[in-house]
Structure 1
Amino acid sequence: ALSEDDIYCRCLSRTLCHTGTPVTVGFYAPCGHRLYALLDKVTGFMREEMNRREEAELSRSHRRPRNPEGWGLLQALWYLTFYKPIVTESHLRRKNIKFLFIRFSAWEYAGCDKLWAGLVTTLCQSIRRHFGALLLSVFHVVGVPPRYASGFGQKEWMLKTDTCLKLWGLLLVLALGIAILLVALLVPGVKDHRLLKVVGGAVTSISGSGLALGAFSVLKNLLVSEKRKIERLTDSEKFTSQLGFMSKIRREVEVLVEFLSFMEIFERRRFRVVLEITSLDICYPEKVAGVLNAMNTLLSDSNTPFIFILAVDPSVIVPCLEQTGCMKGLADNGYLYLNRTVTLPFSIPDMGLRSRLRCLEAALQTREDLMYRVITGNLERR
């Protein structure tokens, strides 16, 4: 039988599977140790719902989702380079969702000056690690955001005519330059014409430099991650004083959102990024306000697929907010500010009888039993 905590967490997971994004869930629980156990339950129930929806969508459409691994990686690179994604009616009707769970412990970044930057860099690094650095680097250079279909057509990809023409043009000019250079070097009677060698070398260099520039841009994004870019911006005192500072960081987040939209169409499923924010109520007040402001300004555009689970104790977080300067104009009411940030408040009641018995059983288990539970839990997540 399900315990009281299981029922609460299953209700929340079902709600999050049906709600629109972005959404900020206030996951209010007074006990820190119990909080992590409840978050694990919510994550487990959401994974179950994700698997159920995948099976239902497969039986409905008879089309398996793609994965950007092996041959799928080559397919993704091909579509990235030569095609524009189209959001069709059939894509909007898809019910299968893939959740990307990211747990952000604010305490790990409490020592830095800008705690909110830790939230953004954790998001960027987790998405980069999940999909691979190569795909994201190529998207930075040649990727385009999806656009909505003009009718009820089912065509999800449109050829990039301009990109194909430019690429073929560069290849033809490169081949022409190499041919001229070979003629000037090898054909008897033409070897003495220095002008032909100069023309062939110049044409080859110009066309080859265009291809090399694109490869260099991909390599640069491959080596310098989004996390590193944001860290450089935040470390620069000269740059932080400029008005364009937040817009550049916001642009990095927008590129991630566009990339996720592209991967949704490629993989034939919807994506939801679940950011579980913990340990925020043991940080300094100004840093708490900075994280909430980052959630409100950087990560809450209308098209972002983010689900924030703000796991805090309101009795602790509200006094922190009331000590900061962000409360001006709100009559120093921390609950009012928190309610403006939180879209869906969810309070966990006191532990019920069945939940207490489950906790007691877990506490009495041996080390081998706990290891067995971890192993079986990992197998269920696959």
Structure 2
Amino acid sequence: MTSAEPPQMELERTIEFELPINDLAVNTQDAGSPLLQVFFDGQPPEIVLANTGERYGGSTREHWEKVPGPRMSVSFGDLDAVADRADIVLRPHARGRETRRLSGHSTQITTLALCPTSGEPLLVSGSEGGSVRIWDPRTGELIRQSQSSRVSALVVYLGPDGRPRIASGGRTGRLRIWNPRLPVPPLVSFVSTRGFSDRVASEDLLDRGTLVDGLRDVLRPDEDDDGPTVLTVEGAWGSGKSTLLELLKNKMPTPPTAVRKRLWFTVCQADWMLYSPPAGMKPPRQQPTKIKPMVKPLVVSFNPWRHQSSEQVWAGLAKVVTEAAESAIMPHRNNVERYWFTRNAKRVDRRHLQRQLWKRILSPLLTLAGLGLGVSVLNALAKWNFDWAWWVTAGLATAGVLHTALRYLFGKASAFLPGELFAGPVVSNAFSGTTTDPLIRDPYYNARSGYLYLVQHDVRELLRDLKAYDYRVILLIDDLDRCTPRTTAQVFEAINVFLSDDFPATRFVLGLDTAVVAAHVDHAYKELADAKIVTHPDDPSPGWTFLRKLVQLPVRLPRTTADNVDQVLLAQLGPVHRETQVVHPEGVAAADSGLLTESATVEVIEQEIIAIERHPDVREHLRQRLRAQPEQSVREEKRLLNTWQFYLRVLQTSDVEEACQLVAVAEIAVRWPAYLHRLRGGWQDLANAVGDDVQWGATIAKLGFAYSDREAAANLRELLLDCDAQAVASLANRLF
């Protein structure tokens, strides 16, 4: 019982009788017009309409719900409720030991009844010198009570709005109809959510905000480039590494830079740049000031598991850094084209490209002028009378020269040159792809330099330009433990290149499972003769020593615990349905005035429809099973929820009890997939044997479980003992 005073029940009507009331019975054969039968000492009973209080004179009905005499005990579920003077004692059917005592009445209890709800029923009690009270037997909470009244008999029925009503009678001869204002049991519909992907979460479900803030403070760049260079976010698969890196990226947005939008890059400018390329990108103009400019972070995400070779790893790194740099220091398309042409002009065969540019800008009118000149010469030799041919030729030649001049002075260079020169660093000749324009060639530069040198050179120059604009790159490298051993080693080799003195300061945050990555490094460098010699004495293998030397700040993610289950369920399935009273304003006014009719009552109350995953009993069962998992992982919890929702759809069920049992079926599917082929056809045998040690051992042996499988068999038995094994076996036979 809680210390707070419970809400009062509403007294809808009082019906006066001249004799003391001994007992009550209810007839709900006509749900829209229930009847109450009132019993007296030595007098015939009377029947009244429960919804109006008027005497009933209609035809006789059968099926009266009546137990002779006062009901001093009731049973529900696996519990018995027994009146013990002014208290109610709750005890299980099989064991007579008391489990809970409900105290609150000041006089001896005279009768008990059950009140139906959407979940387990509530307990109703009445006393001769007290009141009517409603209890929640699951918690022992007193949730409703009536005004002071003498009660010797009571019955419960459903009113026209679908809510319970309580009729109580006593020695005073008054029959009272109470409305406890309990919520209408909701209608349960099919599952509404469609499952969940393995993408990073958009919110912090595991309360790791302080961890994200700490990493942000450590990584925040400064003028001196102090702080750890390589950090790791360490955890097993499904522990939330990717989500934490995404939250970190959102905490470190890239401040915009003020860059003037340039006019388009003309043919004339491209021609002069091919003739004499500039030394490099001009740094931004800054007004003289005593305040040092703020160093800004540029956070870049990279997933190396998509690449399988050293060239692909560097190409992927160059791509993500290029895209981030363009958004930071080249926000306009004209600026991007100018920047990359400036960079690429030093790499290509400029004289060849310049000659091709001149050919491409020549006007087609000059070709027509050449044809006109031939016609004019032929006219002069043949002495034809085509004097106008010279004028047409001169006109075409003049127009062609003007058109060519306009193209040279105002034409857009990207319209006459290969687009690769304006979109990013070019790779030509032996290192280029089949899409490279044949105009882009340099027989000397590529003969001296390999592909990796070219890409590393591009990235280094790009980082220097970013530094000129006061940006510092922070590379977030995720899913390193998904890569092959060779790719993992290549990523580390790339990081070592970045850490060289030739590259501007760059910081790295690696999301990895240290055990997996250390094993990858061991595999990649297993042929090194001195591997064991360089191993740290506290490390089990050279791979761990390599990580020790490379990483300055290892950050271990805290273990996901059962306490995080509620947040995951709330984020994935939405809030649990809470029973609320929904009443229209006009209905409230009518109730306050005492003029609420039967038809009006039906219109006032609304019955909610909830998805089955929001039902409190289903959600509690999900919560218990997820908390019981041996290893807590958001990824595994999503797998279980996805499987459970799929089975709900397969069976097309909205039954609450069946939905709870399906949780165990889904858990079996995701926890023991390697044993499902052995269990097929043996579900009923397992259910029959789960309570007997000898029979259980014989059953799992018959199904092919070896001694090495004893732990899996023990965990499966624990699950079946925790639920209705027979119901789970029946569902498993239907689904597997």
> Same fold by TM-score, threshold 0.5 exceeded?
yes
Q: Contact conserved, 1:133 with 1:222, CA < 8 A, in 2? A: no
- How many residue pairs get aligned? The number is 287
Structure-2 separation of matches of 1:96 and 1:298: 19
**Counterpart amino acid of 2:337?**
S
Corresponding position of 1:17? 220
Q: In terms of Rg, which structure is larger?
A: 2
For each residue in 1:331-362, what CA deviation from the matched residue of structure 2 results, as whole angstroms up to 9, or x when unmatched?
251123223433x3222243377xx6455313
Corresponding position of 1:6? 209
Corresponding position of 2:591? none
For each residue in 1:151-180, what CA deviation from the matched residue of structure 2 results, as whole angstroms up to 9, or x when unmatched?
xxxxxxxxxxxxxxxxxxxxxxxxxxxxxx
Corresponding position of 1:74? 262
What TM-score do you get using the length of structure 1 for normalisation?
Answer: 0.57
Corresponding position of 1:43? 249
Structure-2 separation of matches of 1:279 and 1:230: 32
Corresponding position of 2:547? 338
Q: 1:92 to 1:114 in 2, by over 3 A?
A: farther
Corresponding position of 1:179? none
Question: How far did residue 40 of structure 1 move?
Answer: 2.5
What TM-score do you get using the length of structure 2 for normalisation?
Answer: 0.32
Answering whether residue 313 of structure 2 is matched by residue 115 of structure 1, we say yes
Question: How far did residue 275 of structure 1 move?
Answer: 2.1
Corresponding position of 2:353? none
For each residue in 1:27-86, what CA deviation from the matched residue of structure 2 results, as whole angstroms up to 9, or x when unmatched?
222243411222133223334xx7xxx7xxxxxxxxxx6444xxx423899xxx999326
SS in 2 for 1:94: coil
Corresponding position of 1:127? 325
Corresponding position of 2:153? none
SS in 1 for 2:531: coil
Answering whether residue 551 of structure 2 is matched by residue 348 of structure 1, we say no
The one of 225, 230, 242 aligned to 2:424: 225
**Counterpart amino acid of 2:550?**
T
Question: How far did residue 217 of structure 1 move?
Answer: 8.5
Structure-2 separation of matches of 1:112 and 1:28: 24
Unaligned runs of 5+ in 2: 1-204, 266-272, 345-389, 392-396, 435-442, 533-541, 576-736
**Counterpart amino acid of 2:292?**
R
Corresponding position of 2:517? 317
Q: 1:234 to 1:206 in 2, by over 3 A?
A: closer
SS in 2 for 1:14: helix
Question: How far did residue 128 of structure 1 move?
Answer: 3.8
The one of 82, 95, 112 aligned to 2:294: 95
Structure-2 separation of matches of 1:138 and 1:96: 25
Answering whether residue 504 of structure 2 is matched by residue 304 of structure 1, we say yes
Higher mean Cα deviation, 209-218 or 248-257? 209-218
For each residue in 1:261-283, what CA deviation from the matched residue of structure 2 results, as whole angstroms up to 9, or x when unmatched?
45x2xxxxx32333221122122
Q: 1:260 to 1:212 in 2, by over 3 A?
A: same
Structure-2 separation of matches of 1:235 and 1:316: 34
Structure-1 separation of matches of 2:461 and 2:309: 28
Structure-2 separation of matches of 1:261 and 1:211: 33
Q: 1:218 to 1:303 in 2, by over 3 A?
A: farther
Q: 1:128 to 1:46 in 2, by over 3 A?
A: closer
The one of 571, 586, 597 aligned to 1:365: 571
SS in 2 for 1:275: strand
For each residue in 1:285-325, what CA deviation from the matched residue of structure 2 results, as whole angstroms up to 9, or x when unmatched?
11111111112225755553532211111111011111124
Q: 1:122 to 1:349 in 2, by over 3 A?
A: closer
Structure-2 separation of matches of 1:308 and 1:138: 30
Answering whether residue 232 of structure 2 is matched by residue 32 of structure 1, we say no
Greater fraction helix: 1
Q: Contact conserved, 1:136 with 1:259, CA < 8 A, in 2? A: no
Q: Contact conserved, 1:25 with 1:309, CA < 8 A, in 2? A: yes
SS in 2 for 1:73: coil
Answering whether residue 457 of structure 2 is matched by residue 251 of structure 1, we say yes
Q: 1:368 to 1:290 in 2, by over 3 A?
A: same
Question: How far did residue 15 of structure 1 move?
Answer: 0.5
Question: How far did residue 90 of structure 1 move?
Answer: 4.8
Question: How far did residue 221 of structure 1 move?
Answer: 4.3
Structure-1 separation of matches of 2:474 and 2:320: 12
**Counterpart amino acid of 2:493?**
N
Q: Contact conserved, 2:478 with 2:511, CA < 8 A, in 1? A: yes
Q: Contact conserved, 1:101 with 1:273, CA < 8 A, in 2? A: yes
**Counterpart amino acid of 1:74?**
R
Answering whether residue 485 of structure 2 is matched by residue 285 of structure 1, we say yes
Q: Contact conserved, 1:137 with 1:219, CA < 8 A, in 2? A: no
Question: How far did residue 143 of structure 1 move?
Answer: 7.2
Greater fraction strand: 2
Q: Contact conserved, 1:4 with 1:352, CA < 8 A, in 2? A: no
Q: Contact conserved, 1:106 with 1:280, CA < 8 A, in 2? A: yes
Q: Contact conserved, 2:303 with 2:478, CA < 8 A, in 1? A: yes
What RMSD over aligned residues (CA atoms) do the two structures have, in Å? 5.0
Identity of aligned pairs, percent? 17
Structure-2 separation of matches of 1:241 and 1:325: 31
Q: Contact conserved, 1:115 with 1:291, CA < 8 A, in 2? A: yes
Higher relative contact order (CA 8 A, sep 6+): 1
Q: 1:294 to 1:310 in 2, by over 3 A?
A: same
Corresponding position of 2:302? 104
Instruction: Please list, as runs of the form range in 1=range in 2, the aligned pairs for 1:266-277 lying within 5 A after superposition.
Output: 270-277=470-477
